[in-house]
């Protein structure tokens, strides 16, 4: 089982992701520079948070053209696992690996705080160690996290059980007040139809140690590791 | 030869920046404003090796695939000789 963390110019959560995989998941992990294109030795890749290309044009828009992204597309098509966190989620949407787009937060602010998300399905490689309905306390840190999609896409996401995380109250109730950024249907994370690509705005890699205020994020990485262990 | 590309959020897409700008200009005393939408404007200088038609096709493609995100934005291309 081998993980890769893709590093774009401007990524800044790459070391956090690397740390979590090596220390908490206990598996081998490499940094992959965005100009590299050989992903053949990896089972899962993480597109980390940050400000790839300074968020020029649109968040994630220019990273889509990095050489590694063609390989990430093929990697995903081959059924291997892709996890996009924050800027990684934005890149996956821009690249068309996930539907919809992430636009400026409803209230314009850059929001950096711990919020609650509810696990909406355990039927993904990233949440299979979690019960549906579990509430996780995880930080967000973004200015463009307002998830938007058209009515047909939303209906499809709902019908196919592809909304993986929703912003919620502490007790798990999904309310407008618990929606930090205006995301449609309180969406915090979605997966693709094949369920092997997940994007989410919250930062589970920043919530893997009690010292940092929460260790709820670990279960997402544990789920992925369990999926890979079962597949090997 | 120059291409001008205007990119705007689609009409249904929330534009909180536009709203904030509207609020500010109203505070300054400008009245009669019903809405402000913020967009992007690109000036692309062309070296003249493409004819008008080809240049338009090329810039349209650029606008569609790079300069705009068709999920949230519309674009308009103008070619100037």
pLDDT tens sequence across A37-62: 999 999 999 999 999 999 999 999 99
Q: Cβ distance A203 to A85 under 8 Å?
A: yes
Residue range A121-126: mean pLDDT, rounded: 98
User: A77 and chain B: CB distance < 8 Å anywhere?
Assistant: no
Q: Single out the catalytic residue among A86, A149, A168, A208.
A: A86
Half-sphere exposure of A176 (CA within 13 A, CB side): 1
**Residue A83, burial from CB neighbour count under 10 angstroms (0-12, 13-18, 19+):** buried
pLDDT band, residue A110 (cuts 50/70/90): very high
Is the Cβ pair B72, A105 closer than 8 Å?
no
Exposure on the CB side of residue A98, measured as CA atoms within 13 A = 32
A60 near B CB under 8 A: no
| Mean per-residue pLDDT of chain A | 97
SS3 (DSSP) at B23: helix
**Nearest chain B Cα distance for residue A145, angstroms:** 13
Residues of B in contact with A181 (CB under 8 A): none
Chain A residues with beta carbon closer than 8 angstroms to that of B66: 57, 61, 65
Which residue of chain B is at minimal alpha-carbon distance from A90? Answer: B69
pLDDT at A231: 82
Residue B48 pLDDT level (bands cut at 50, 70, 90): confident
pLDDT of residue A80: 97
Q: What is the pLDDT of residue B81?
A: 80
From CA B7, how far away is CA B71, in angstroms rounded? 12
Best of B14, B37, B64, B67 to disrupt the A interface (most A CBs within 10 Å) is B14
Q: How far apart are CA A158 and CA A165, in angstroms?
A: 12
- Can you tell me the ipTM of this complex? 0.88
User: Which positions ≥6 away from B80 have C-beta within 8 Å?
Assistant: B1, B2, B3, B4
**pLDDT above 70: residue A127:** yes
Q: Of A57, A108, A149, which has the smallest distance from its Cβ to B16's Cβ? A: A108
User: Nearest-5° angle of CA A120, CA A212, CA A138?
Assistant: 15
Tell me the C-alpha distance between A74 and A95, whole Å: 12
Q: What are A215's two structure tokens?
A: 């260790």
pLDDT band at residue A142, thresholds of 50, 70 and 90?
A: very high
- Alpha helices (H) in chain B, listed in sequence order: 16-27, 52-62
The 10s digit of each residue's pLDDT in A59-91 is 999 999 999 999 999 999 999 999 999 999 999
């Amino acid at each position: 089982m081998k993980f890769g963390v893709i590093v774009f110019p401007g990524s800044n959560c790459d070391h956090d992701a690397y740390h979590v995989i090596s220390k908490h998941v206990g598996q081998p992990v490499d940094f992959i520079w965005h100009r590299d294109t050989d992903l053949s030795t990896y089972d899962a890749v993480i597109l980390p948070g940050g400000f790839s290309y300074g968020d020029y044009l649109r968040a994630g828009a220019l990273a889509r053209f990095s050489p590694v992204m063609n390989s990430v597309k093929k990697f995903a098509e081959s059924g291997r696992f892709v996890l996009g966190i924050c800027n990684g989620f934005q890149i996956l949407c821009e690249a068309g690996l996930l539907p919809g787009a992430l636009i400026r937060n409803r209230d314009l602010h850059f929001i950096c705080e711990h919020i609650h998300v509810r696990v909406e399905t355990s039927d993904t490689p990233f949440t299979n160690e979690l019960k549906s309905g579990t509430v996780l306390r995880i930080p967000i840190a973004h200015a463009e996290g307002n998830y938007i999609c058209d009515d047909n896409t939303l209906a499809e996401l709902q019908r196919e059980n592809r909304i993986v995380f929703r912003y919620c109250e502490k007790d798990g109730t999904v309310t407008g007040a618990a929606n930090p950024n205006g995301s449609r249907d309180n969406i915090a994370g979605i997966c693709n139809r094949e369920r092997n690509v997940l994007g989410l705005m919250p930062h589970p890699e920043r919530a893997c140690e009690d010292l940092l205020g929460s260790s709820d994020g670990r279960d997402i990485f544990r789920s992925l590791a369990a999926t890979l262990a079962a597949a090997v | 030869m120059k291409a001008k590309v205007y990119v705007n959020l689609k009409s249904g897409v929330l534009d909180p920046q536009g709203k904030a700008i509207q609020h500010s200009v109203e505070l300054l005393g400008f009245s009669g404003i019903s809405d402000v939408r913020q967009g992007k404007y690109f000036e692309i200088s062309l070296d003249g090796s493409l004819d008008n038609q080809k240049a338009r096709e090329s810039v349209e493609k650029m606008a569609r695939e790079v300069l705009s995100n068709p999920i949230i934005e519309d674009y308009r291309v103008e070619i100037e000789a």
